[in-house]
Amino acid sequence: MPRKKTLPKFPYDYIGERAQEYGTLDWMEKNQKKTTRQCVEYLFDSKLGSIEIEDFSNYLILDLGCGTGFSSEALLDLNFNVVGIDILFDMIEKANAKKTDFSSIQIFELILASITQLPFQPNSFDFIVSISAYNFITYKKKTMGEVNHILNETAAYLSKLLKDNGRIVIEFYPNTIKELNLFTSSFTNNNFNGFYIKQNPTQKSGQTFLLLKKGGINYGEM
């Protein structure tokens, strides 16, 4: 898979040979792991309120859209206990093959599931991250009503899954400011507060990080 200027197509770019290729690309691994570490820094951004954590091994983090496991591996390397979920077997089976690389005392579970239909109990996770995957939850949703519905349902469910004061960082690629606003308001409508950071603030679209805290203080308009 050569580096493309356009966003990848779901599911086309993540099945069969393309899934195989994704899992072997050094530049992709480097990018995704770097972005994951950036997301972890953002989880503890002082604007969300400081928390002192010296050892991540007491915390369970959910990796939404873990793919072939680059993001989950970066989280495991930081000592988190990790549950990764992905909707595509072709991607997650490659992550599964990496399970043996990690110590048996660390939790590393992988589940074939959609971000929009997660099989977990309320209050299960301390933190949630999603690296280059959250965009795709609106796949096949044609009308604005459908898009709004799936975004709001998902945000409401993620709020239930998180423990009190839990945090989420989502790295994604909105195409327009309107799209960015739809994603952010789905969280602020559903018991989250936070703000976004754009990699390149002068660009309307492009890499964006949503930094969110369950409940907590209101940061005003995002």
Q: How far apart are CA 91 and CA 150, in angstroms?
A: 23
Residue 136 interacting with ligand SAM (CB under 6 A): yes
Least distance from ligand SAM to the Cβ atom of residue 84, Å: 8
Which span (111-119, 157-165, 178-186, 196-204) binds ligand SAM, by CB under 6 A? 111-119
For residue 124, how many other CB atoms are within 10 A of its CB? 16
DSSP at 9: P
Q: How far apart are CA 24 and CA 218, in angstroms?
A: 42
Nearer to ligand SAM, 76 or 193 (CB): 76
Nearer to ligand SAM, 102 or 219 (CB): 102
Nearer to ligand SAM, 65 or 194 (CB): 65
| Contact flags string 170-209 toward ligand SAM, x per CB under 6 A | ----------------------------------------
Residue 115 interacting with ligand SAM (CB under 6 A): yes
Residue 10 interacting with ligand SAM (CB under 6 A): yes
Residue 65 interacting with ligand SAM (CB under 6 A): yes
Among positions 18-47, residues that touch ligand SAM (CB under 6 A) are 32
Least distance from ligand SAM to the Cβ atom of residue 185, Å: 20
Among positions 73-92, residues that touch ligand SAM (CB under 6 A) are 85-88, 91
Judge whether 186 and 158 are in contact, CB under 8 Å: no
What string of H, E and C letters represents the secondary structure of 50-67? Answer: CCCCCCHHHCEEEEECCC
Q: What is the DSSP string of 192-215?
A: EEEEEEESSTT-SSS-EEEEEEES
User: In terms of DSSP H, where are the helices of the chain?
Assistant: 17-22, 26-43, 70-77, 89-96, 144-161, 177-188
Distances (CA, A) of 112 to 93, 124, 143, 151, 157: 9, 17, 27, 20, 18
Residue 154 interacting with ligand SAM (CB under 6 A): no
Residues that bind ligand SAM (CB under 6 A): 10, 14, 32, 65-67, 70-71, 85-88, 91, 114-116, 131-133, 136-137
